[in-house]
Structure formats: structure tokens, C-alpha cells
Amino acid sequence: MTTYTTRMLILGSGPAGLSAAIYGARAGMKPILVQGIQPGGQLMTTTDVENYPGFADVIQGPWLMEQMQKQAEHVGTQLMYDTVVEVDLTQRPFRLIGDGGDVYEGDVLVIATGAQAKWLGLDSEDALKGKGVSACATCDGFFYRGKKVAVIGGGNTAVEEALYLTNHSPDVTLIHRRDSLRAERILQERLFAHKGVTVLWNKEVDQFVDGGGTAGLVAIDLIDTVTGEKSRLDTEGGFVAIGHHPATELFRGHLKLDEDHYIWTETGSTRTNVPGVFACGDVMDKVYRQAVTAAGTGCMAALDAERFLAEMEFELAEAAE
Ligand code: NAP
């Protein structure tokens, strides 16, 4: 059992955590970054990335994360492979405890544990992920330009994704399991007014249909939730937009979470309700959820953390005089 101590402790190794590490290291905070169960985060399971600025050609998600990791290490971040099972935020230094008993202590803590898209849990969905089935229209919609696409869900995300897809596709279908949407009224009005969108009410996905060979998704089989009637919708893109799980279980009871279990942060900053603890990336952002916005809030967290430490050190120096 070893105790590791640093000024800046970071939990999570997606674009948010690694960006916080790059800025934190360059500000002299000697970050220790604990990588968590899925090093690299959601981009490790993404293939083509075409929307991360700075790369004229299509890049691969895992390659991008490898580069960010190397960059964080080159500027002085210590990367640790561990799964944190317990936290103590009641006093500084804050403590994270790994499953093997190792302890990580930091004068400030940056939480970047991310979120996972919810899936329907169908075998056919699993088989066609990346071959027509996706959980992010903003990331993958462009690959379906000119094609028929469908979005599953009835919340803000589903409606925003359906509207976003109309930029690329002349024929967008929204599939919802009930007869009314959960999304905000203004989004609903925009959706219903759009000629390129059809809404299928009271429909659940029975299965995603594989065209065989290299075809990928060719249709979605549906079941009517009221009548039980079966139908088929021809489509080449199926976007599952039924919500996300922010990875906040570890912090329940230790930090303020919002009504959707995301870490609450002060508007316009990454400050949580515990001074010295900062949150960035998808664990606090349920609106944008992009690699570039995660990286942006990671940078904000490092700047907020650096200012916090500078203020603390200034106060200590004044008290000592
Ligand atoms: P959400 O509000 O939880 O909506 C999830 C939708 O998926 C619901 O319509 C739900 O149906 C449906 N659904 C859930 N499980 C399903 C299943 N197994 N099969 C079929 N449909 C299923 O999720 P969200 O839209 O991602 O939004 C999450 C939070 O982020 C919300 O607070 C939202 O307001 C916020 N958000 C805000 C913005 C913005 O401010 N621009 C953008 C995106 C998200 P039911 O309605 O039948 O339950």
C-alpha cells in the first residue's frame, strides 16, 4: 500500500482529464492522474474522428487519446492505473483510495470521470455499433449525409439530434415509445415544424436489421407499444438518444449532484460545492458532450485549480506574517 501525494490530483483520463493535466503540469502543479476503468474514455471506442480541430484528415479516437496521454506525460503528468473505490473530500488534502489500497492525495482534485451513453440493450444494437448504429449524431451524423436516418428517444437530446441530422439527411425519423415527448416545448415546436422530420409515436425497437456483408444497418424493426403491431422502417443510420449515465456513483453523498446525477458546478466555472474540488467534461456537462468541449472544460478546471491554490497560498503567507 503506497500513498502518492501531489498538489493536483485528477481522476479520469478522457479529453477533460488529460487537458486538465496538460495545463496543470505546465502551471507547475505536478499532477497525478488516476486513469480509471476505461483509460482514454469514450473516444477509445470511437473510430473516425472528423470534428476535433487541428487535424485536416480523419483521425482515430484511440490514436487521439494516445497523443493526449503522451502530451500530458511529456509535460510532467504522472499517470497511474488504478480503480478508485473510495473518496474522502471532508478535508484537504483530498484522498482517493484505489481498489488495491493505494492512496492518492491532492491539495486540489479535478474530477473528469465522464459519462456513458445508455443503450437499448439489444444484441442487434451491439452487433451494428459503428456500422449504422450510433449514440452520437453530432459525432457521426456527417457520415450519413444524403441517407435516411432515425433517432430513438423523446428527450432534449433526441430532438436536438433529429434536428441536427436534418443538416445532412433529407429524411429523418424520430422513434418514440410514447405519444408525447419529454423534450422542452420550444424544441418540440421546431421539430414538428420541420418538413424533413417524421415522428413515429408509440414505437419500440424490436431489432436493428443487418443488410449482411459490408452493408451494415438497412432497417429497424419496430413494435407498436399500444397495439403490438410490427413494422419495418428502412434506414441506414440509427441514433440511440435515450440518455447518459454520468460516472458519479463514487461522489454520491460527497458532492452536490444535479437532478440528473451530474456533478453540479457553479455557472461559468468548474467549481463544485466543495472548495478545491473541480469537475470537467461529460461528468458535469449534459448539453454539449463533445471531445473538444470536454478538453475546454479540462483547461478551465486546471486554471480554476491553479487560482484556488494561489489564493490559499497567499492567505497562508498573510496569516504567517
Ligand atoms: P432524458 O431526458 O432522460 O430522455 C430520455 C428519452 O429516452 C426519454 O424520452 C425516454 O422515454 C427515452 N427512453 C429511455 N429509455 C428508453 C428505452 N429503453 N427505450 C426507448 N426509449 C427510452 O435524456 P436526454 O434527452 O439525454 O436529457 C438528459 C438531461 O440533459 C435532461 O435534463 C435534458 O433536459 C438535458 N439536456 C439539455 C439540453 C439542452 O439544454 N440543450 C440538451 C440535451 C440534454 P420516456 O419519455 O418515455 O421516458
pLDDT in tens, 124-155: 999 999 999 999 898 889 999 999 999 999 99
Please give the radius of gyration of the chain, using alpha carbons only, rounded to the nearest integer.
22
Please tell me the distance between residue 158's alpha carbon and the centre of ligand 1 in angstroms.
7
Residue nearest to atom 13 of ligand 1 (CA): 242
Residue 154 in contact with ligand 1 by CB distance below 6 A: yes
Mean pLDDT of 65-92: 97
Q: What is the pLDDT of residues 173-207, one digit of tens each?
A: 999 999 999 999 999 999 999 999 999 999 999 99
Cis peptide before 31 (omega within 30 of 0): no
Residue 141 in contact with ligand 1 by CB distance below 6 A: no
Residue 120 in contact with ligand 1 by CB distance below 6 A: yes
User: For the chain, what is the mean pLDDT?
Assistant: 95
pLDDT band, residue 314 (cuts 50/70/90):
confident
Catalytic residue among 140, 282, 285, 304: 140
pLDDT band, residue 296 (cuts 50/70/90):
very high
Residue 139 among the catalytic residues: yes
Is pLDDT of 280 > 80?
A: yes
All three cell numbers of 235, joined, read: 434506414
Please tell me the distance between residue 97's alpha carbon and the centre of ligand 1 in angstroms.
33
Q: Is 231 within 8 Å of 224 (Cβ atoms)?
A: yes
Enumerate residues 6+ apart whose C-beta is below 8 A from 249. Answer: none
pLDDT band, residue 38 (cuts 50/70/90):
confident
Mutate to test the pocket of ligand 1, among 286, 289, 290 (most ligand atoms within 8 A of CB): 286
- State pTM to two decimals: 0.84
Catalytic residue among 82, 99, 123, 139: 139
Residue 157 in contact with ligand 1 by CB distance below 6 A: yes
Atom number, ligand 1, closest to the C-alpha of residue 120: 18
Cis peptide before 53 (omega within 30 of 0): no
Mean pLDDT of 226-235: 98
CA quadruple 19, 23, 29, 33: dihedral, nearest 10: 10
Is pLDDT of 37 > 80?
A: no
Residue 266 in contact with ligand 1 by CB distance below 6 A: no
Residue 48 among the catalytic residues: no
Residue 162 in contact with ligand 1 by CB distance below 6 A: no
